[in-house]
Amino acid sequence: MAAVATLGPVHPTTLRLPEPTGPHPVGATALHLVDHSRNDPWLPVDQPRELMLTLWFPAAAPGHRRNGYLTPLESELVLRAGRVVGLPPGILSTTRTHAYDDVPIGDRTGPLVLLSPGFGKPRATLSGLAEELASHGYLVAGNDHTHESAATTFPDGRLATCLAGNSGREKAFWEKLVAGRAADASFVLDELTRDLAPSGVAMAGHSVGGASALTAVSTDPRIQAGVNIDGSVHPELVEPGLATPFLFLGRAAQYTRGSGPAADTWESAWTLLTGWKRWYTVRGALHASFTDIGLLAEQAGLDAGAALPAEHVARLTRDHVRAFLDLHLLGKPVPLLDSGELVHG
């Protein structure tokens, strides 16, 4: 989240995620996974890759205790990393979610969606999308990519901060990041399918998380569909002739065809994809508009300069991602996606 200025008084208790539209109450639980086959790529010593996940799922009935969004310290670190001033440091920890952490998983056989956030952002920033999907019957696993997020808290109280940001930001850095996240996704899928039996698997992500989704569907055949939300991609990490269905959704200012280097990465990847594909752009959106960050910033009285309200962009994002997943994981007809290329806003 870029630095922004306050427009009015801050009301911490008003921060809330959008109400999910599906028929199911939503549950959420945190999971701690350790990959002993890989070392963490950002640590100077050999140490197994550790990950924290949130698994959102449809619940049989509502619970009594809402799932937390971020801890006060995580909130402070996320705001500091985004150079956001003028807000109470713990304000994001007050965000009201719609998921309950005191309900069990009911159906373990629904379609599974892996979610990957943007660089520097924790998994919580995709909670609005996750809750929406879970309310419609999806199992959703949001991944904190350790040392690529401003703050990741482990069950024993350890706090991992962003070490990847200390590296050079050249092309090789981003390729390492994307390839590592694709490996994280495959490991998470290995672990989750020990206990779950999903009817299908997809991966979606924002920014570098979206770029990682494209690489992951190219390297792991178990992932049957992918979504890139406003992220420049790396076509050199994609196998030519990839037939996996894929959705591109991003800012018109960045990703309209012919608009510059970011759009060129989509164009290059587009030519490699031989299956179902769509390219949608949104006028007036900012990078953060597609995540909870844009929505919560507006609720807090901040103005980042978006021409389109974040609530509108969030709704477009939820509707298009769910329609795409309904089509390719559930086989439902979705007229929303009939057109090959649209501009919204």
Query: What pLDDT digit, counting tens, does each position of 311-327 carry?
Result: 999 999 999 999 999 99
The pair of three-digit structure tokens given for residue 24, joined into one six-digit string: 């199911």
The pair of three-digit structure tokens given for residue 111, joined into one six-digit string: 């379609």
Q: Residue 278's pLDDT is what?
A: 95
Confidence of residue 12 (pLDDT cuts 50, 70, 90): very low
Q: Residue 275's pLDDT is what?
A: 95
β-bridge mates for residue 144, sequence order: 52
Q: Residue 324's pLDDT is what?
A: 97
User: Reduced to 3 states, what is the DSSP secondary structure of residue 206?
Assistant: strand
Nearest-5° Cα angle at 217, 180 to 118: 50
Q: Residue 7's pLDDT is what?
A: 35
Look at residues 19, 18, 28 and name the one whose alpha carbon lies nearest to residue 57.
28
Average pLDDT over residues 325-345: 83
Average pLDDT over residues 73-85: 92
| pTM, 2 dp | 0.93
Q: Residue 168's pLDDT is what?
A: 66
Q: Residue 148's pLDDT is what?
A: 96
β-bridge mates for residue 343, sequence order: 281
3-state SS record for 144-187: ECCCCECCEECCCCCEECCCHHHCCCCHHHHHHHHHHHHHHHHH
Residue 209 zone, left/alpha/beta (φ > 0; ψ -120 to 50; rest):
alpha
pLDDT at 36 over 60: yes
Higher pLDDT, 247 or 307: 247
Domain annotation for the chain: domains and CATH numbers: 5-344 (3.40.50.1820)
DSSP class of residue 109 equals -
User: Reduced to 3 states, what is the DSSP secondary structure of residue 79?
Assistant: helix
Nearest-5° Cα angle at 311, 305 to 314: 105
Q: Residue 4's pLDDT is what?
A: 37
Considering Cα of 173, then 159, then 46, then 32, what sign does the dihedral take?
negative
